[in-house]
Structure formats: C-alpha cells, structure tokens
C-alpha cells in the first residue's frame, strides 16, 4: 500500500470511529463520488446531469421526459433543460412516438451511444478509487448496508406520504 493510501486510511479511521452521523458520512461520500466523477466527465465535455440521463438511456432508450425525470429523481423542468442541451450537443434526438403528438421521447444518437465506451470506464475508476483499501467482504457488507438504508428511507418517505406529508419542492415560493 502506498504512503498516500496509508494516510488516507488513517484519516478515514477517525471518521469511522467518531460519533459522526451516518447521514453526514453518506453525504460526504456522495459528494466525493460526484466530484471525482465530474473531474473525469469534464475531459469528455459531459456534465454530471447529462451523465445521469445518458446512463438511464443506455439502459432503456426512448423514454419520455417524464419517465426520465422520474428515473433520475429530478423535476421535469430540470430534465427538460438537460435534454435540450443534450439534443444541441447531438447526444439525443427527441421525437414523438405512436401517434402521440404531445409527448416526446428521447433517443440516443450514434454519438450518444459512443459516449458509453468513453464514460463508463471513468465511473469504474471512481468506484475503484472509492473502495480502495476495502476487502471484498467489507465491500459486500457496505453494499448490503447501503441497500437496506435506501429501502428504509424509501419506506419512511412512503409512510409520510400516506399521512399527507410530502417532500417540499427544491424551489420554494415563500418569497412570493
């Protein structure tokens, strides 16, 4: 293990052994993942927002804007802005399907498909950097723990919705 890796692990042990809230640790890890990926994506002139939609379309091409926004857990206006830029860049084309003149679906262009071979290895680099120093068993435990936490928090949100409480929009109209 390199000297840099050793010092990084020692620093991490302080966080892991502290009374730091899990929510903050996960947020810091997510921020680190996002920043590390953004550093790499910019080498291909792709933004993090575009990456989110490209990944979804690589799995299921031809989704509507609403379907994309739901899968990305983003608002439709946010999806619209990102998709418009992706269309300008030639990554997607939007068109109507099945005689529906109102709903447009996003389809990857050849250029959009070609980005997959360039971008996915960058995401793998980030994942590998993040788990460096973890054993296979620790990685498996981490995956399981995170999956449980995600399910628990989804259930918590569903229960809140059943009692009439919803997550507020990210843009508040309090000032108007």
State pLDDT tens for residues 9-39: 455 556 666 778 999 999 999 999 999 999 9
pLDDT tens-digit series, residues 101-158: 778 899 999 999 999 999 999 999 999 999 999 999 999 999 999 999 999 999 999 9
User: What pLDDT band is residue 6 in, cutting at 50, 70 and 90?
Assistant: very low
User: 3-state DSSP call for residue 141?
Assistant: helix
Contact 68, 80 (CB under 8 A): no
H or E element at residue 96:
strand 92-96
Q: Give the predicted TM-score (pTM) of the model.
A: 0.77
pLDDT value for 2:
42
Virtual CA dihedral for 109, 111, 113, 118, nearest 10 degrees?
A: -160
């Amino acid at each position: 293990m390199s000297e840099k890796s050793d010092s990084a692990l020692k620093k991490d042990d302080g966080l892991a052994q502290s009374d730091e809230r899990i929510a903050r640790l996960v947020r810091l890890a997510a921020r680190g993942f996002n920043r590390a990926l953004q550093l790499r994506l910019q080498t291909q002139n792709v933004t993090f927002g575009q990456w989110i939609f490209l990944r979804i379309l690589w799995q299921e091409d031809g989704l509507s804007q609403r379907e994309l926004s739901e899968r990305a857990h983003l608002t439709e206006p946010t999806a619209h802005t990102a998709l418009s830029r992706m269309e300008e860049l030639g990554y997607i084309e939007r068109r109507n399907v099945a005689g529906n003149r109102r709903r447009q679906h996003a389809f990857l262009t050849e250029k959009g498909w070609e980005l997959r071979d360039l971008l996915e290895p960058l995401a793998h680099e980030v994942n590998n950097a993040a788990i460096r120093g973890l054993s296979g068993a620790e990685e498996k435990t981490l995956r399981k723990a995170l999956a449980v936490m995600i399910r628990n928090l989804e259930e918590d949100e569903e229960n809140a919705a059943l009692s009439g409480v919803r997550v507020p929009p990210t843009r508040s109209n309090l000032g108007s």
